Amino acid sequence: MNLHDTIAAVSTPPGRGGIGVVRISGTDARVIAENMLLFPAARPAWRTWTAILAELLDAEGHTVDQVVATYFAAPRSYTAEDVIEISCHGSPVVLRFALERACASGARLAEPGEFTLRAYLNGRIDLPRAEAVRDLIDATTLYQARIAAQQVGGSVSLRLRPVKEQLLELIALLEAGIDFAEDDISVAPPEEILRRIDPVLAAVRALISSFAYGKLVHQGFTLAIVGRPNVGKSSLFNRLLEQDRAIVTDMPGTTRDLVSEIAVIEGIPVRFVDTAGIRAGQDIVEKLGIERSYQAMADADLTVVVVDLAAPLDAADMELIARAQQQGKSLLAGNKCDLAECAAVNSALRVSALTGEGLSELRRAIIGAIAPCGRLEQEGGFITSLRHEQLLEETRCALEQAQTATTHGIPHEMLLLDLYAALRPIDGITGATTADDILNRIFSTFCIGK
């Protein structure tokens, strides 16, 4: 991949629309645009962040479409290169033709993600922001989009910056003490080293713990709804989805196979699974459905056990509740609370699939059970990437080793190995730290060579 030539691509989704955009980025962007477009003036007066009306021409000089060309001069563009965006009418034929004309005029078809790659390599964005661009495009809920947009704005980078700064300061302190001992720079005592490691380690652990919620925001989770026949599982399933997805009848055993659907609770995508009523199977088909119900419980991130408040709990209910608790996170929902003769069941959330009573409380309880920390106030400050979580785990291990090494009086030359091992994974998230970064910090901090 040549990162110094000029690239072009259609930046809007496939299909027909009112507007479609062809983006050109590179040093020859203006020349290429002039070769494929006819402007009112003989030579357009390109002004950055300014749009110009033009005509898209074919090879014979015939007008194909009337377009708007917008110029973004380097470095104040998405890629930090000269960028021109040509807004055509959103016909796939016109967009494909505009792209072919750009390539015939000297551009190259962009590789997947190459615009964002150039933005990163040119220092326009860092790695967390580049990854957040992908998450923003892939968002399926408004909450996911908002979190990704905050991360594009640098929320994760801002939270990591002081961690990296404090770690670099400690490395510079120890490097200075080792390499410039003749300048009477004292080597930090163990108490000072531990004092500096502690806040860094605490911040890293907090970021790692935030992934439990960030993973839910990014990936969602699976919820299985189980219970005996005719307790109202399918009715509750439909109520939570706000659509009639599962068949509901008064006949026991209507649901014989798993029924699943995606819905959103508090901005988090949830895959709801309605299961067959669990009882002693009447035939081979129902027995297979019940086995799949048990498997769904085992596979789900959370199980909601539904019981009938209009009837006393029996041994089958208690056995199902115990099994759900043993297999993982679970909630107990008591359906039919709208009936006058309904009973009270300890720890059961009272709901009515018929009237919708208690549904808001159930939704909140679902999120509370799957994410005990709740929605973090510093939205966007948590991490949603598994890659980031794994790298921070490496940093945590290295910092804990550095703590142990300091406590046991290990020489600073060896301690630095642990600190550099803690820095490398952070660099894998934010970008590399060079030897010059360390040296500049040493000289500026300690005034060596005065």
Residue 446 has pLDDT above 90, yes or no: no
Instruction: Assess if residue 148 is contained within a domain.
Output: no
| Residues 103, 82 within the same domain | yes
User: Beta 330-335 vs 302-308: how paired, if at all?
Assistant: parallel
Q: Residue 423: helix, strand or coil by DSSP? A: helix
Locate 165 and state its tokens.
């700064």
Indicate the Cα dihedral angle 244, 248, 253, 256, nearest 10°.
-20
Instruction: Let me know if residue 357 belongs to a domain.
Output: yes
**What pLDDT digit, counting tens, does each position of 275-295 carry?**
877 666 565 656 676 778 788
Other Cβ atoms closer than 10 A to 273:
22
Number of other residues whose CB lies within 10 A of the CB of residue 162: 12
Report d(CA 206, CA 221) in Å as an integer. Answer: 22
Quick one: pLDDT at residue 249?
45
359 and 391, same domain (yes or no): no
Residue 300 has a CB neighbour count (10 Å cut-off) of 24
> Are 239 and 338 contacting, i.e. CB atoms less than 8 angstroms apart?
no
Q: State whether 210 and 227 are in the same domain.
A: no
Query: Which tokens sit at 433?
Result: 């730290």
Q: pLDDT tens digit string along 385-436?
A: 888 899 999 999 999 999 999 999 888 889 999 999 999 999 888 876 655 5
Question: Cα–Cα distances in Å, from 128 out to 206, 216, 378, 385, 397?
Answer: 17, 18, 17, 9, 22
Residue 443 Cα to chain centre, angstroms: 39
Q: What are phi and psi of 225, to 5 degrees?
A: -110, 115
Report strand pairing: 268-274 vs 221-227.
Answer: parallel
Same domain, 94 and 14: yes
CATH number at residue 36: 3.30.1360.120
268 and 345 assigned to the same domain? yes
Q: Is 129 a domain residue?
A: no
Say which CATH number the domain at 198 has.
1.20.120.430
Sorting pLDDT into bands at 50, 70 and 90, what band is 437? low
Cβ burial of 409 (10 Å; 0-12, 13-18, 19+) is exposed
Report the pLDDT averaged over residues 316-336: 87
Let me know whether 227 and 349 are in one domain. yes
pLDDT tens-place string over residues 195-244: 999 999 999 999 998 888 888 888 889 999 988 888 888 888 888 887 66
CA-to-CA distance for 324 and 12, rounded, in angstroms?
46
pLDDT at residue number 245: 56
Determine the Cα–Cα distance for residues 170 and 284; give it in Å rounded to an integer. Answer: 68
**Does residue 2 lie in a domain region?**
no
Would you mind telling me the total number of residues written for the chain in this entry? 450
Point out the domain boundary residue: 121, 137, 169. Answer: 121
pLDDT at 183: 54
Task: Indicate if 356 and 233 belong to the same structural domain.
Answer: yes
Q: Which amino acid is at 329?
A: K
Burial class (CB in 10 A: 0-12, 13-18, 19+), 305: buried
Backbone angles phi, psi at 80, to 5 degrees: 65, 15
Q: How many domains would you assign to the chain?
A: 3
Q: In terms of domains, do 363 and 390 share one?
A: no
Tokens of 107: 């551009």
Distance (Å, whole) CA 406 – CA 265: 47
Q: Is the peptide bond before 40 cis (omega within 30 degrees of 0)?
A: no
Q: Give domain status of residue 323, yes or no.
A: yes
Q: Are residues 93 and 187 in the same domain?
A: no
Identify whether 309 is part of a domain. Answer: yes
The helix (H) or strand (E) run that includes residue 399 is helix 386-407
Last residue of a domain, one of 342, 370, 398: 370
Sign of CA dihedral 306, 310, 314, 318: positive
Look at residues 71, 102, 121 and tell me which one is the last residue of a structural domain: 121
For residue 34, report the phi and psi dihedrals to the nearest 5 degrees.
Answer: -65, -30
Q: Name the residue type at position 437.
A: D
pLDDT for residue 248: 47
Whether 345 and 363 share a structural domain: yes
Are 207 and 284 in the same domain?
Answer: no
pLDDT value of residue 440: 57
Which residue segment(s) compose the domain that 342 sits in? 222-370
- Sign, CA dihedral 194-196-199-201, equals negative
Give the C-alpha separation, 253 to 286, whole Å: 7
Residue 329 and residue 249 share a domain: yes
In a domain, 28, yes or no: yes
Q: What pLDDT was estimated at residue 354?
A: 86
305 pLDDT more than 50 = yes
| CATH number of the domain enclosing 229 | 3.40.50.300
Tokens at residue 149, please? 């947009």
Residue type for 190, please? P
Residue 353 lies in a domain: yes
Tell me what pLDDT residue 445 has: 47
